[in-house]
A and B are shown apart, each in its own frame.
Chain A
C-alpha cells in the first residue's frame, strides 16, 4: 500500500449515455455558500460533472450610488462592500481621493491606518478560518476563530466607535485620534492573538482528516491563476510571491519588514495555510508600526467640500482577499463621476470553474470556502 492510499478510492464511474446528470442548485440559500451565491452543479453520483456559478443576488448598485454621494459619504458605502474587512476598503477609497488631490497624510495617521488595517486582515482571516472549519465539518474552530476576532472587534469599537461599519478612515487622515491607551491595548491584543493564532493552527491545520479533505483538492496552477486574475492568498497559494503591499507599495507599507507566505500546490490546504501564516506576518507589521508610531496630527484639514481636480486615478491595495483596486474619475465636482471597484472576490470567483474540475460534491463546499469570497464585494 503506497502512501496516501488509505483514504483514496478510485471510483469506477459507470457512465450510462441514457442517464442524465442530476442538476442541483447549490444556493442561493445553502448554508455554506458564504452569502447568497448560487452554484448550479450537475452531478454524476457524487462527482461534479459541470458547475456554473451565478452571482448578482446581493447587487445593491453600490458603485452607482457612489456617484450621487459626496466624497466623504462614499466611504460609508465602501464599508459595506467587503463587510468583513471594512477598514481595508475605506483605506482603498481614501487613498484614491488623496492621490487625486495630492494630499499629504500625516505620519501618525498613516501608522494608525496600517495598524488597524492589519488587525482587520487578521479579523478577516479569522472569520475565514472559523467558517472553513465549518465547511470541513468541524464545529469547534468556528468558535475559536470568533474568539480571536472578537478581541479585534472590541479594539475597533474602542477606537472607531463601531464594531463593523467604522467609517473611521477619512480622506486626508482619520476621523479622530486614538485614545491614550491605544498602544497598550493593541499590544495586549497582539499578545493574545499570537497565542490564539497558534492555538487555531494546532487545532485544525495538521489534522489528518482535514489534510485528506483539503490536500490536492481544488488545484489551480500558477499560469491559470494569473490568467484568471486571481489575487491575494489564493494567488500566493499557487506559488507566485505577489503581494501589492510589497510589489506595488501603497501607504507606508514599504517601511516594514515582513514575509509573504507562498504555497506550492495551489490546492485548498495551501490557500488555507497561506492565510494562517499571513496572520502571523500581519502581527509582525503591527509590532513594527506600533514601535515607530510618531505623535502629531491625525488629519490634513481640507477647506470646504472635498473637490478633487478633474481627472482620473487608479489605486491598488491588498485587501485580505486580494488585489482591491479603485478607479476613480472626477469631474471636479463634490461627487465622484465614476467609481469602479476591482473586487478581489469577484476575480477569484471566476477561477472556481477550474478549481472545481474533478471534484466531489463535498469538495465544492471546501473549494468555494478556500477562496474566501464575500458576496457583498462580488456583487457590489
Chain B
C-alpha cells in the first residue's frame, strides 16, 4: 500500500466520520424541533437563525465540560465504553450505499456485515454499565443486553425475508430489485417487524428501558458527562440514522423512483435527494413515535419480542420462502405470487395490530371508574343518621 493510498483511506474515513457526526448533530436539532411541534413548544430558537446553530452550541458546551470519573469506576472499561459504542455505529457505514454510485465499499455480504457489526454496540453499553460502578448503570447495562440481544432475532429474521426476495445480500442489489415495487408493498409484515425491532435496537421510546430517565436515571450513561456522554449520544443518533437508512434501502426502494427521467449527474443528484427525503420521513416517524408513546416495562418488552415478533418473523419467513419456492417451480403461479405474498403479509400484519390493540389490556375493562352522585351519598348519610338517632 502506497502512502497515497493510505492517505486516501484516511481521508475517506475522516470524511465519513465528519459527515455522520454532522448528520447526528442535526438529527438532535430535528428531534427537538419535531418534539417541540408535537408538544406545542418552539424548540431551540436562540442560537443562529431559528436555532439552526444549536447543535454547534451543544457540542461546544459538551466538549468544554469536565469529564468526571467516579472514584470506584473501573477506569479502562469506563473510558473505553464510549468508543466501543461509537466504532460499530460508524463501521456499519462502510457498506451502506446512499445512491447507486455513492458507497465506500460495495460488499456482496453487506447485510450480513451490517447485522454482525450492529450487535457489537451492546458490549459498549454493558461495559459502560459495569465500568461506572453504579447500581443504576449496571441495571441499565443489563437491561440493554437483554433487550438488544432478544430483539436482534426478529431484526435479522425480517431482513432475511428481504434477502430471500432480492436473492442477494448486497444492499445496492436489493435496492435495484425494488425497481418496480418497493418491498414494503410485498412485505408489510416484515417492515413492521423490522421497524419495531429497529426501534428496540436503538433503545428509543417505547423501548427505551435501558436508559429510562424516570426509572434507571439514564442507565449506562448515568455517570458520564461532557465529551464522553456526547459520544454515546452521537452513536445513538448515528444508529437512528442507520436504522432509518436501512429501512429506506430495504423497504422503501432507496433512491429508486419508478420513472426517474434523467441520466448522469442530475440523476445521481435527484437520487440522493429522493433517498434523503425517504430517510427523513422514516426518522420523522421515529421521532413522532417518541412524542406519543409511554415506555414498556422490561418483562412486557421481552414478552412482546419473544411472543409476538419472533414467531411472526418465523411465520413470515415460512410463508415467503414457500411462496418463492412454488413460484420457482411452476411458472404459471409466478405472476400472482407477489400478490399472494402481499396479501398474506398484510393480513398477518392486521391480525398483529388487532392482537396488540384489543387484547393487550391485561386486566380487562377500561371502564373501572364509575361516577357516584353526591346527592346519593348525602341521602345515604341522612338515612344512616335517622337509623342511629
Binding site for B on A (CB under 8 A): 1, 3-9, 11, 22, 24, 30-32, 46, 133-140, 143-144, 147, 204-213, 215-216, 237, 241, 243, 245-247, 254, 256-265, 267, 269-270, 273-274, 277, 281, 360-363, 365
B373's nearest neighbour on chain A, judged by CB, is A259
Chain B 284-311 interface residues, beta-carbon cutoff 8 Å to A: 290-300, 302-304, 306-308
Chain B 181-223 interface residues, beta-carbon cutoff 8 Å to A: 205-206, 208-209, 212-217
Q: Is the CB of A211 within 8 A of B297?
A: no
**When chains A and B are docked, how far (Å) is the Cα of A74 from the Cα of B366?**
44
A-B complex: 6 closest residue pairs judged by Cβ atoms: A137-B295, A4-B362, A9-B303, A136-B294, A32-B214, A138-B294
Q: Is the CB of A277 within 8 A of B369?
A: yes
Q: Is the CB of B299 within 8 A of A133?
A: no
Contacts of B308 in A (CB 8 A): 6
Q: Is the CB of B294 within 8 A of A204?
A: yes
**When chains A and B are docked, how far (Å) is the Cα of A277 from the Cα of B367?**
12
Instruction: Sample 5 A-B pairs with CB under 8 A, ordered by A number.
Output: A1-B359, A24-B135, A206-B366, A243-B374, A273-B369
Q: Is the CB of B303 within 8 A of A261?
A: no
Known contacts A6-B308, A8-B300, A245-B374; can you find 19 more A-B pairs with CB under 8 A? A6-B356, A7-B296, A7-B304, A7-B360, A9-B302, A137-B212, A137-B293, A140-B39, A143-B40, A205-B366, A207-B294, A212-B361, A243-B374, A258-B374, A259-B374, A265-B363, A269-B366, A273-B368, A360-B298
Binding site for A on B (CB under 8 A): 35, 38-41, 135-136, 139, 143, 205-206, 208-209, 212-217, 290-300, 302-304, 306-308, 355-357, 359-364, 366, 368-375, 377-378, 381
Q: Is the CB of A139 within 8 A of B215?
A: no
Contacts of A144 in B (CB 8 A): 39-40
Q: Is the CB of A362 within 8 A of B369?
A: no
B135's nearest neighbour on chain A, judged by CB, is A24
- B370 CB to closest chain A CB (Å) equals 6
Among A6, A31, A135, the residue within 8 A (CB) of B355 is A6
Q: Is the CB of A139 within 8 A of B39?
A: yes
Q: Is the CB of A7 within 8 A of B293?
A: no
Q: Is the CB of B374 within 8 A of A4?
A: no
Among A216, A237, A246, A265, the residue within 8 A (CB) of B378 is A246
Q: Is the CB of B369 within 8 A of A274?
A: yes
Contacts of B38 in A (CB 8 A): 140
Contacts of B370 in A (CB 8 A): 261-262, 264
Q: Is the CB of A139 within 8 A of B369?
A: no
**When chains A and B are docked, how far (Å) is the Cα of A7 from the Cα of B296?**
9
Q: Is the CB of B206 within 8 A of A209?
A: yes
Q: Is the CB of B214 within 8 A of A11?
A: no
Q: Is the CB of A216 within 8 A of B371?
A: no
Contacts of B41 in A (CB 8 A): 143
Contacts of A140 in B (CB 8 A): 35, 38-39, 291-292
- Interface centre among A144, A212, A274, by most B CB within 10 Å? A212
Q: Is the CB of B215 within 8 A of A362?
A: yes
Contacts of B143 in A (CB 8 A): 46
Q: Is the CB of A9 within 8 A of B307?
A: yes
Q: Would you call the interface of chain B mostly helix, strand, loop, or mixed?
A: helix
A204's nearest neighbour on chain B, judged by CB, is B294
Q: Is the CB of A24 within 8 A of B136?
A: yes
**When chains A and B are docked, how far (Å) is the Cα of A338 from the Cα of B293?**
49
Among B217, B355, B364, B375, the residue within 8 A (CB) of A257 is B375
**When chains A and B are docked, how far (Å) is the Cα of A241 from the Cα of B372?**
7
Contacts of B371 in A (CB 8 A): 259-262, 277, 281
- A216 CB to closest chain B CB (Å) equals 4
- A205 CB to closest chain B CB (Å) equals 8
Contacts of A245 in B (CB 8 A): 374
Q: Is the CB of A31 within 8 A of B217?
A: yes
- Interface centre among B136, B139, B213, B297, by most A CB within 10 Å? B297
Among A205, A207, A277, the residue within 8 A (CB) of B293 is A207
Q: Known contacts A215-B361, A362-B209; decide if A263 and B368 are in contact (CB<8 Å).
A: yes
Among A206, A210, A259, A261, the residue within 8 A (CB) of B294 is A210
Q: Is the CB of B215 within 8 A of A209?
A: no
Contacts of B297 in A (CB 8 A): 212-213, 360, 362-363
Contacts of B35 in A (CB 8 A): 139-140
Q: Is the CB of B362 within 8 A of A259?
A: no
Contacts of A7 in B (CB 8 A): 296, 300, 303-304, 360, 362
A264's nearest neighbour on chain B, judged by CB, is B368
Q: Is the CB of A270 within 8 A of B300?
A: no
- Interface centre among B143, B217, B308, B372, by most A CB within 10 Å? B372
- A197 CB to closest chain B CB (Å) equals 14
- A278 CB to closest chain B CB (Å) equals 10
Q: Is the CB of A257 within 8 A of B374?
A: yes
Q: Is the CB of B298 within 8 A of A215?
A: no
- A233 CB to closest chain B CB (Å) equals 10
Q: Is the CB of A22 within 8 A of B303?
A: no
- A348 CB to closest chain B CB (Å) equals 18
- B221 CB to closest chain A CB (Å) equals 14
Among B209, B356, B363, B372, the residue within 8 A (CB) of A259 is B372
**When chains A and B are docked, how far (Å) is the Cα of A10 from the Cα of B112?**
34
- B179 CB to closest chain A CB (Å) equals 38
- A273 CB to closest chain B CB (Å) equals 5
Q: Is the CB of A247 within 8 A of B361?
A: no
- Interface centre among A3, A209, A243, A260, by most B CB within 10 Å? A209
Q: Is the CB of A256 within 8 A of B374?
A: yes
- B205 CB to closest chain A CB (Å) equals 6
Contacts of B302 in A (CB 8 A): 9
Q: Is the CB of A137 within 8 A of B303?
A: no
Q: Is the CB of A212 within 8 A of B378?
A: no
- B77 CB to closest chain A CB (Å) equals 20
Contacts of B294 in A (CB 8 A): 133, 136-138, 204, 207, 209-210, 213
Q: Is the CB of A246 within 8 A of B374?
A: yes
B375's nearest neighbour on chain A, judged by CB, is A257
